[in-house]
Structure 1
């Protein structure tokens, strides 16, 4: 099948979160299944610089955007054979900062126009109106930045099938009513069953309401977003469309995340030969200026410092362990200034027990996965999560809250699962510092039982969350949708 896969970020061209990893790995897996897939993403300056050789293949002027002709740049996603299209519209995308925010951390005021233009381009590519000798059978859109594309395509009788994937429902692309008017959309779309959402315009609601099928990134998250507690006001619509909603678990790119061949870590190791992991732990301790205490468990956390990720729970729960010398902690991430400040104070208070890197560093993320003994993910909600799956492959036992994809990928080391031999981590339920502290205590008790810990680590490393299964699920969905049209 011919598939157009649209995303606002794709690793290694541009990355702010897991969306970028998925938007690289899933298309590559679909390509290996011999589907004719093309990627499309905005041509941010950093993306153009990292994309390698690019060729201008045409210019498109889109309805509603006469002053912003889009030049299509064609290439190949680095490290793959997946064809890549970058949408070069300088006024919209040639800016410093990340794809959505200026250097001061505030959202670009014209994000509705920037991603409205991107959606128009997706529509034109889907309908064969962009000057390419190619038209897709399926258009696969991802998160709010592409949410208007299924809306625009819904207005055409002869069109490809559309899939819209929710990676995180809490980011909705909400704008004032004036944004709807500025995008020159049909007035009949402004109603409570369309793009209107409590007086605002919602890009993500457009994708949910008008795509032929909706997916999200784990089975449990698909159930959770249909509840009032986690539906972000869209649970009614999601329940209405429940027959067209599927949870497909994200996968892991084991070419990038495998300790036996990872070039970013101090020493390679495998399930059969774990000797290199001790060197990775010593390397991580040295990097953060922590004493090289091999018998003390080293906890790791990589992620955005936001309440969703439960970083506040971690910083509260771990302090008694740091003050007593019972564990060390390294944290890599940035986000909420208040949480960053709390983390800095904790690192200053316990310089021999805690290391902190404010910001994101891909190399350091790999070193944490390889060097830590325990990876802590106390997320209040987690659509899928990738780090817990990376941790399993690296033999770094995940301690996770039982939610979303964390619940789907980590088996709790309770007495029953330890006895049956299928435990892979430690899970807890309540989003409180005490519940996390109790889970960490269980993990540390297991750590101090070397034979049992070794069995737990080996079982974790045996788990397979490769993209092949997920890609097959998406390919099957595509076939059903194309047959249905």
Structure 2
């Protein structure tokens, strides 16, 4: 008889390709396939937002509860491609218009209840298993929306080990202590060493305190979270777990089957060995954004338009870049002020700056394929996937040296260009006395402009970027080792 496969239950609010607002979904959707050859079978527990059950198709009920925080609920098991899914069908919580967290720009008023319910179900499945006799050896919870899974398991006296991965500590799932009873949380644990967070309750803090291990999505971000400017009030919890050896920084990968310039159906194919198709994609992108083809580099920006992402730095630094011969194509949405500012920039430089407000997945593929540079000037970035897509597609990253950006892009200093390790341009490295500001971004863009004029040097840098390791291989192995340690 073949040995039983190890099992991990992944609990998350997003999972590509079903529902996505950011990089969390890509990680949750890609990690199971990377773990499979390492002996770990995964099921992903996800809310059944409107239309998801129809997209998955055939499914069967494997768990139910007549009263899940105010209404009946069931969990349905189904598959989509390589993903083994558990969809929490709770219409009173998830069958509503808007996105996973908000409608018309406003958070759903009961998000704390909705995602406490998701966490409760994750804990019950870990304890009881499903009706088809599946029960996990380890639970992998993601961000605050699954932050209460470790707490519910602790309060139930369960020994099932848990890993909580922080994708972005800025979002903490905060609610009032008057909700403790409603969410089946004990008032006796409302104190600073557990649930209490500045007089309120934080689902993220609860998971950080109660999980067996804590991880985040890059080594640099794991270090940064212990500092007040990055920890958002939770730096003490981070430092305590790090000092006990219970915090890991594991860099994200990308799905190199979906993100593959040689086989991407959205673009003209090319590779590091034969990059000729890159020029065709570049010309097509100029045309798609109605820009005049320039002799300088075409920079692409694919991002949420927020302060965290450094959009204000772009607005300050890009005019000089454009006036020096560069061009820019932007895809994103977010803060109305930044949307307006980018529109003004495009009106000022109509032949050199193009802006699309919104998100379009196929267009993002075409932008990475056509871009010479991808710009990621984030003030903080837990891991970042944009720069990984850029590396894969030969859109050389220009990034702030923070978090995962610092860990994945090697600056094009002369010594790194000489030894073949350079993969992009960085600025604002605090370890070197730098700051993340528009001046630093402008200097990095100037360096990129200068190198772009040296065609041979640029081809070498682009090829080095495209050969960088961005898949899940190494990182999935670290997760598998962690899960195996905990399961033992």
TM-score (normalizing by structure 1): 0.96
Q: Report whether the alignment pairs 1:203 with 2:203.
A: yes
Cα distance, 1:228 vs structure 2: 1.5
Counterpart CA distance in 1 for 2:419 and 2:332 is 36
Tell me the residue number matched to 1:369: 368
Counterpart CA distance in 2 for 1:97 and 1:470 is 33
Q: 1:419 to 1:190 in 2, by over 3 A?
A: same
Tell me the residue number matched to 2:46: 41
Candidates 248, 251, 256, aligned match of 1:249: 251
| 3-state SS in 1 of match to 2:168 | coil
* Stretches of structure 1 lacking an aligned partner (at least 5 in a row): none
Tell me the residue number matched to 1:180: 180
Cα distance, 1:131 vs structure 2: 3.3
Tell me the residue number matched to 2:92: 91
1:159-199, Cα deviation, whole Å (9 max, x unpaired): 31110000000011111222324313111121111111101
* Stretches of structure 2 lacking an aligned partner (at least 5 in a row): 1-5, 429-434
Counterpart CA distance in 1 for 2:181 and 2:64 is 26
Tell me the residue number matched to 2:149: 149
Q: Report whether the alignment pairs 1:417 with 2:421.
A: no
Q: Report whether the alignment pairs 1:69 with 2:68.
A: no
**Contact 1:44/1:93, CA 8 A, preserved across alignment:** yes
1:241-284, Cα deviation, whole Å (9 max, x unpaired): 1121000010111001111111112x100011111001111111
Tell me the residue number matched to 2:475: 470
| 3-state SS in 2 of match to 1:71 | strand
Counterpart CA distance in 2 for 1:7 and 1:296 is 42
**Contact 1:248/1:470, CA 8 A, preserved across alignment:** yes
Deviates more, 1:224-233 or 1:172-181: 172-181
Counterpart CA distance in 2 for 1:300 and 1:51 is 34
| 3-state SS in 1 of match to 2:342 | helix
- Give the 5 Å matches for 1:273-422: 273-293=274-294, 295-322=295-322, 324=323, 326-422=325-421
Q: 1:46 to 1:307 in 2, by over 3 A?
A: farther
Counterpart CA distance in 1 for 2:157 and 2:120 is 17
Cα distance, 1:58 vs structure 2: 4.3
1:35-81, Cα deviation, whole Å (9 max, x unpaired): 2221110000142343233333442235x62x3221212111x331x
Tell me the residue number matched to 1:7: 12
Counterpart CA distance in 2 for 1:201 and 1:157 is 21
TM-score (normalizing by structure 2): 0.95
Tell me the residue number matched to 1:131: 131
Counterpart CA distance in 2 for 1:131 and 1:57 is 5
| 3-state SS in 1 of match to 2:125 | helix
| 3-state SS in 2 of match to 1:398 | strand
Tell me the residue number matched to 1:32: 37
Q: 1:52 to 1:277 in 2, by over 3 A?
A: farther
1:121-171, Cα deviation, whole Å (9 max, x unpaired): 011100015534121110000000000110010123343111000000001
Counterpart CA distance in 2 for 1:46 and 1:221 is 35
Cα distance, 1:455 vs structure 2: 0.7
Counterpart CA distance in 2 for 1:168 and 1:176 is 21
Counterpart CA distance in 1 for 2:442 and 2:183 is 49
**Contact 2:321/2:446, CA 8 A, preserved across alignment:** no
Tell me the residue number matched to 1:19: 24
Counterpart CA distance in 1 for 2:453 and 2:182 is 62
| 3-state SS in 1 of match to 2:85 | strand
| 3-state SS in 1 of match to 2:304 | coil
Deviates more, 1:4-13 or 1:33-42: 33-42
Deviates more, 1:463-472 or 1:154-163: 154-163
| 3-state SS in 1 of match to 2:283 | helix
Counterpart CA distance in 2 for 1:431 and 1:408 is 16
**Contact 1:128/1:134, CA 8 A, preserved across alignment:** no
Cα distance, 1:33 vs structure 2: 2.2
**Contact 2:143/2:168, CA 8 A, preserved across alignment:** yes
1:345-394, Cα deviation, whole Å (9 max, x unpaired): 11122111111111111011111110010111000000000111111111
Tell me the residue number matched to 1:189: 189
